[in-house]
Amino acid sequence: MLSIDTEKIADHIERSQDYLLSRQHKEGYWVGLLEADVSVVSGFIPLIRFLGIENLGKEKKAMDYLLDHQNTDGSWSMFYGGQGSLDVTIQTYFGLKFLGLKPENEQLARAKKFILNQGGIEAANTYTKIILALFGQYSWKGIPEIPPEIIYLPRWFPINIYDFASWTRSTIMAFSIIIAKKPVYKLNREQSVFELYRNPERIKHPVPYQAGSRCSLGNLFLLFNRALKIWDSLHNRLKIGRQPAISKVEKWIIDRQEDDGSWGGIMLPWLFSLIALKILGYSNDHPVISKGLKGLDDFISEGSRHIILQPATSPVWDTAWSVIALRQSGLPAGHPRLSRSLEWLLSKQVTEEGDWKVNNPRTASGCWSFEFENKYYPDIDDTAIVSMALSLLKDSSGQHQQAVSRGIDWVLDMQNKDGSWAAFDRDNNKRIIRDIPFADFITPLDFGSPDITAHVLWVLAKLGYTSEIGPISRALKYIKRSQNADGSWYGRWGVNYIYGTSKVLQAAAALGLGANSSIGPHIERGAEWFMFIQNEDGGWGESCASYEAGSYQPLGVSTASQTAWALLGLIASRGLCRQVEKGVEYLSSTQNADGSWSEKHFTGGGFPRAFYLKYELYKDYFPLMALAEYKKRIDRKQQG
């Protein structure tokens, strides 16, 4: 076993605490930069122009940001170090041409070659084609229909809007208006991207949505889409009244705008809701549009040379984990900084009823969301983790205990029938929806996942619940069923099998389930898997490519956040061992002088196989938790 100086570990912990405290905002919260691939910026450029907004200073910085992130083969990737993505590259190429870059530019020429080699615009996903259609670069004939009349479909119908995941639901409601109206923003010839078609015939005659096997649900949707095209044509030719449906969708959208101007606190439905309303005749000085445009500024991180547009912000999530890391590393419960965090977290508890209420009419609110403002779409993961954070703090009034109690009651009521927990809704898992045409760029369902389920179990255990109660017993059965053959567990919201496996091992340990329990053999296999995939330098690293492959894909280098997750899982299941020592040595040797860690790779989930995230503070609060847990074990061993 390696010999690690415990005094040095204490120093690493103290410096990490100091760094994390230096990142706290005066109001009591933490929020790190949430970064995605460059298409968030490149797509924003034409869409914001569609809304009639122009800012040449920001656009120049956007161009520099895009050009500086191009790969050597001319492409742009979905995540740092990843292979080139056709859709990200098309959207970025279009954004750059929109800003005035000439096609003879060497970087554009390389991008064009990559795009054509990958199949051209014809091979792009639906989202890319919608963006191009808005600007006359793709025919609306090739875009799948979403009739606004979908708003009328009742709950008992095979498909209705509340069968879609919350993020998909809010997006397709905006799309239903846009696709019904089929607007086109006129470009000048220099901005056109028709050169990206491999077959020029497809400009006027696009290939419709393509499905898989002849008997697949995807082909049923294809046939249904053809019928919807005829329905749409009848509306346009015979002037059949569609306005009532559009008006109902319009009201649905407006009713769900948040106080900060967003929709759901995330960029995709936000931008397209603004575009849908703009198409309906709303001016930029209308209160809804004005508030929406003003709120976008808070999502832009602007430096001296670049701008980065965040797809969302994560203050509640970052604050809860920062509190947990600081408390578990020894900061007192009544520390003034943590008292500020307590007040801020309490102020963010959601008491309004959101879309989740549709499937849970008897459930009382008392939950938390991920973002600064998002009362319609609180989530189970945040509610569980915030409940854990609050339980570690001091509040003489007892208000935080009441808040935790309400939060946990809400979480328990949101458990799926299969024993799992998902992100936003209960039993949002109609498999018929998996093959809708829009599933090629946005995950249409909110399935339960091992990582969220394990988070809930971990929190319930820490709050004193035992494995004998029904919800925990059902969840454990789900966890056992969902283990992979190699011993790992899938991680939906963190990359990927390292994240999921870590969370399960920690949950089992918190519940006191050891080798002699029914889940014991599963935990043993999970721990062995961690030891098998450890890197030579002592750390761990997994690529976002794991989602595409459906199995663990090594990153080739170690990351601070994933090393911390692996350590937390191994310490929970194996205690002090040689692999843990090596992992701790890796974190110790890679800590920066200011107490932080460096991390370029994306380790956050988004839409698997389509969209990934880099949480700036993952590299800091999770390593602090891992080092603190290691030191506790060492201290316990030394005390006998």
Which phi-psi region, left, alpha or beta, contains residue 272 (left: φ > 0; alpha: ψ -120 to 50)? Answer: alpha
CA atoms within 13 A on the CB side of 563: 34
Answer yes or no: are the C-beta atoms of 382 and 320 closer than 8 Å: yes
Q: The dihedral of CA 297, 303, 309, 315: what is its sign?
A: negative
Contacts of 332 (CB under 8 A, 6+ apart): 338
Crossing angle of helices 560-574 and 497-510, in 10° steps, is 30
Nearest to 555 by CA among 502, 618, 601: 601
CA 57/CA 64 separation, integer angstroms = 11
Q: Which ranges of 329-398 would DSSP assign to H, the alpha helix?
A: 336-347, 380-391
Query: Which residue type is seen at 36?
Result: A
Answer yes or no: are the C-beta atoms of 581 and 1 closer than 8 Å: yes
Nearest to 93 by CA among 143, 126, 46: 46
Answer yes or no: are the C-beta atoms of 284 and 52 closer than 8 Å: yes
The tokens of 455 are what?
């988070």
- What residue ranges in 223-304 does DSSP mark as E strands? 300-302
Nearest to 194 by CA among 120, 125, 141, 108: 120
The secondary structure element, H or E, covering residue 97 is: helix 86-98
Answer yes or no: are the C-beta atoms of 393 and 341 closer than 8 Å: yes
The tokens of 377 are what?
């779409």
Q: Match 């929190």 to its residue by tokens.
A: 459
Task: Tell how strand 540-542 and strand 554-559 pair up.
Answer: antiparallel
How many C-beta atoms surround the C-beta of residue 147 within 10 A? 18
The tokens of 173 are what?
């409601």
Answer yes or no: are the C-beta atoms of 224 and 150 closer than 8 Å: no
Q: Which ranges of 99-216 would DSSP assign to H, the alpha helix?
A: 106-117, 126-134, 166-181
Residues identified as active-site: 381
| Radius of gyration in angstroms for the set of CA atoms belonging to the chain, rounded to a whole number | 25
Task: Tell how strand 604-607 and strand 554-559 pair up.
Answer: unpaired
Nearest to 602 by CA among 30, 13, 33: 33
CA 551/CA 203 separation, integer angstroms = 38
Contacts of 42 (CB under 8 A, 6+ apart): 62, 66, 88, 91, 92, 94, 95, 96
